[in-house]
């Protein structure tokens, strides 16, 4: 369910309603403070533009009156020219304000989107890792792109439209009453009758649009599953059930598509009809009044325009409101993310361990920890590690091996107890300082789209090509890289035919460049075949000489020569010793070790 939900968000705007509209708007206003002056100027421009387009018909009717009055007696061309010149100025001013408003909202909308995206990007790196355990990447990505886009678009299009439409609506009502009371009542009543229909249709079609987005989300989920698992679908002849479900979803989607499209397509013709209906009403009433001699013909001409000015903003207001509403929902999602609790501030930490002076002692002192408060994973973990020791951690899945690393790296903070590096508690060190002390290589081979060199050097500066080459040579990739079309400058992308093992070796090379006093290898060689592993192992041994290192491994062969092997189960160390000692003991480790030969 959770999955289909975020898939749905990724595709097209959903018509979500904000949970707390006021708060979302308040936040939005606070965030866009910097752009407020421009925004206000934009809004003023929209209002001015509307005012000018409202007074124009008045003058146009003057023009027509001048012509009709002069039909028999000769037209007063001085007057006509005067009015025409005035009209040209009014039209130009209206267009200019309109244009300026458009340019300003485009600027604000994009700058705002930009700073939203930046804030999210910065925020990602300030959140505790815990956050990412419970939130999918797709969801965060969707906030960076879809939600921010939606906000930007609404501000660019709807905000200006909305304000202009409101101004137009108020203005045209005022002008209508100013021109003629009876006619104004006629025009307004006749349009409003039509609008009640439109409102009904709009709300109906909204419902189908929401349904469509939902169906689309379900469809997406199904397709994703079948496409990405296609080898199993194929090998298990799972087509029949896949097709049945697809056909069902496809049919539902078809129905929602058709209904939502039909209803929303009705809007325009209906608006036309309302326009025409009001036109006739205005003409008939106008004719009566003209015949009575109450009004001049020019008034009718003016009203024909007013009716149009009055009816078009109503639809625009309705549409802008919907769009602004979904923008508010998006803003809520973005702010929800931006307001997430960040990692503790560490500016007050003054202690610092220098990379060059660290001796290499590490001590875990009665460490307790749980990812969730009520679920303790590490119950009581204590160990002293001497400089240069090679510590291996083994144990079944879920024993808490990676958790130990997470705590050591200060990705998570211990619930109770303490971890000390050279006698200094890591609580007194900044995360940045701790990270500087460790080189970490993970099973998850993380490479990004960029050149081989960029991937190896990463954020280190002043690394020469020789150093990169020698790191590559150490991991045995030098030859392979030289066979690539652009050597070190070859861009790594997903499509590139680099095997999992080679990727792993590249990440090890990256770790070598960092060259920190402590080393953590979390299943770092499990993607490499055993022979390459042996080679890497030798390299690592050389690299770890004099350095304290932690190795988590699945394959027990990897860790046989460790100084200490910690056997973990259920969050505790149940055995400690080197390979020989543990084998002699005949406990959990020995059993684990022997099981690989049994058959």
Interhelix angle 530-544/500-514, rounded to 10 degrees, is: 0
Site for another protein in 395-434 (CB under 8 A): 396-398, 409, 411, 431-432
Binding to another protein in span 118-137, by CB under 8 A: 118, 120-122, 124-125, 129, 132, 137
Rule CB under 8 A: say whether 238 interacts with another protein: yes
Question: Which letter, b or e, does each residue of 453-490 get, where b requires 16 or more Cβ atoms within 10 Å of its Cβ?
Answer: bbbbbeeeeeeeeebbbebbebbebeebbeebeeebeb
Contact 43, 248 (CB under 8 A): no
Alpha helices in 462-575, H assignment, sequence order: 465-474, 478-483, 500-514, 530-544
CA nearest neighbour of 108 among 164, 159, 74: 159
Q: Which stretch binds another protein (CB under 8 A): 166-174, 259-267, 376-384, 468-476?
A: 259-267
Of 121 and 203, CB closest to another protein: 121
- Return the number of the residue (259 or 478) whose C-beta is nearest another protein: 259
Q: Which of residues 145-164 bind another protein (CB under 8 A)?
A: 145, 149, 152, 156
Closer residue to another protein, CB minimum distance, 21 or 267? 267
Contact mark string toward another protein, 362..391, x via CB under 8 A: ------------------------------
Query: What phi and psi, each to the nearest 5 degrees, are found at residue 569?
Result: -155, 130
Q: Is 470 in the site for another protein (CB under 8 A)?
A: no
Spatial distance between the Cα atoms of 364 and 416, rounded to a whole number of angstroms: 11
d(CA 471, CA 488): 12
Determine if 17 is a binding residue for another protein (CB under 8 A). Answer: no
* CB of 554 vs another protein, minimal distance in Å: 8
Site for another protein in 479-498 (CB under 8 A): 494, 497
Which of 103, 189, 200, 355 lies at the binding interface for another protein (CB under 8 A)?
A: 103
Is residue 253 at the binding interface for another protein, with CB under 8 A as the rule? yes
Q: How far apart, in whole angstroms, are the C-alpha atoms of residue 181 and residue 209?
A: 41
Q: How far apart are CA 529 and CA 541, in angstroms?
A: 18
The answer to whether residue 176 forms part of the interface with another protein (CB under 8 A) is no
φ, ψ of residue 195 to 5 degrees: the values are -70, -25
Q: What is the spatial distance between Cα 138 and Cα 132, in angstroms, rounded to a whole number?
A: 11
Told to check if 44 binds another protein by CB under 8 A, we report: no
Window 500 to 539, contacts with another protein (CB under 8 A): 500-502, 507, 514, 527-534
Cα(297)–Cα(288) distance, rounded to whole angstroms?
Answer: 11
Which of 182, 203, 229, 561 touches another protein (CB under 8 A)?
A: 229
Which of 30, 71, 78, 546 forms a contact with another protein (CB under 8 A)? Answer: 71
- The mark string for 270-309 relative to another protein (x by CB under 8 A, - otherwise) is x-xx--xx-xx--xx-xxx-xx-----x--xx--------
187: left (phi over 0), alpha (psi -120 to 50) or beta: alpha
- 368 versus 554: smaller Cβ distance to another protein: 554
């Amino acid at each position: 369910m959770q999955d289909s939900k975020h898939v749905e968000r990724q595709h097209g705007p959903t018509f979500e309603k904000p949970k707390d509209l006021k708060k979302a708007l308040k936040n939005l206003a606070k965030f866009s403070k910097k752009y407020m002056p421009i925004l206000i100027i934009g809004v003023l421009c929209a209002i001015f533009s509307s005012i000018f387009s409202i007074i124009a018909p008045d003058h146009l009717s003057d023009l027509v009156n001048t012509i009709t009055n002069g039909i028999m007696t000769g037209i007063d061309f001085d007057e006509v020219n005067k009015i025409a010149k005035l009209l040209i100025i009014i039209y130009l001013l209206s267009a200019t304000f309109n244009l300026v408003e458009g340019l300003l909202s485009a600027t604000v909308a994009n700058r705002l989107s930009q700073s939203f995206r930046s804030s999210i990007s910065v925020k990602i790196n300030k959140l505790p890792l815990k956050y990412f355990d419970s939130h999918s990447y797709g969801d965060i990505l969707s906030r960076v792109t879809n939600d921010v886009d939606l906000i930007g678009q609404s501000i660019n299009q709807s905000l200006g439209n909305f304000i202009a439409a409101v101004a137009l609506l108020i203005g045209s009502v005022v002008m209508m009453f100013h021109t003629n009371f009876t006619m104004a009542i006629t025009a307004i009543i006749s349009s409003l009758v039509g609008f009640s229909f439109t409102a009904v249709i709009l709300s109906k079609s909204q419902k189908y649009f929401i349904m469509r987005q939902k169906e689309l989300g379900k469809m997406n989920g199904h397709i994703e599953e079948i496409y990405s698992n296609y080898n199993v679908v194929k090998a298990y002849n799972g087509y029949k059930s896949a097709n049945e479900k697809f056909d069902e979803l496809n049919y539902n989607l078809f129905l929602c598509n058709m209904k939502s499209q039909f209803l929303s397509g009705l809007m325009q013709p209906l608006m036309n009809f309302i326009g025409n209906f009001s036109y006739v009403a205005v003409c008939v009433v106008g004719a009566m009044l003209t015949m009575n001699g109450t009004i001049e013909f020019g008034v009718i001409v003016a009203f024909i325009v007013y009716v149009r000015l009055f009816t078009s903003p109503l639809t625009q207001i309705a549409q802008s409101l919907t769009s602004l509403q979904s923008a508010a929902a998006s803003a809520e999602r973005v702010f929800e993310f931006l307001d997430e609790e960040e990692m503790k501030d560490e500016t007050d930490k003054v202690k610092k361990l220098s990379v060059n002076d660290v001796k290499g002692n590490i001590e875990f002192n009665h460490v307790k920890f749980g990812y969730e408060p009520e679920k303790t994973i590490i119950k009581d973990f204590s160990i002293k590690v001497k400089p240069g020791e090679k510590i291996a951690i083994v144990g079944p899945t879920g024993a808490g091996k990676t958790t130990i690393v997470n705590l050591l790296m200060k990705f998570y903070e211990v619930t109770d107890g303490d971890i000390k590096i050279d006698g200094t508690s890591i609580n007194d060190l900044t995360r940045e300082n701790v990270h500087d002390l460790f080189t970490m290589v993970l099973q998850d081979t993380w490479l990004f789209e960029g050149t081989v060199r960029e991937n190896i050097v990463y954020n280190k500066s002043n690394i020469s090509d020789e150093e990169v080459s020698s790191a590559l040579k150490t991991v045995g990739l030098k030859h392979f890289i030289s066979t690539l079309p652009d050597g070190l400058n070859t861009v790594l992308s997903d499509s590139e035919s680099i095997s999992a093992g080679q990727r792993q070796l590249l990440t090890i090379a990256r770790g070598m460049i960092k060259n920190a006093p402590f080393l953590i290898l979390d299943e770092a060689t499990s993607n490499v075949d055993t022979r390459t592993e042996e080679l890497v192992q030798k390299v690592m041994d050389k690299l770890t000489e004099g350095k304290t290192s932690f190795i988590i491994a699945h394959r027990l062969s990897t860790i046989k020569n460790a100084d200490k092997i910690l056997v973990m189960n259920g969050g505790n160390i149940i055995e400690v010793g080197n390979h020989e000692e543990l084998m002699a003991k005949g406990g959990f480790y020995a059993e684990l070790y022997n099981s690989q030969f049994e058959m």
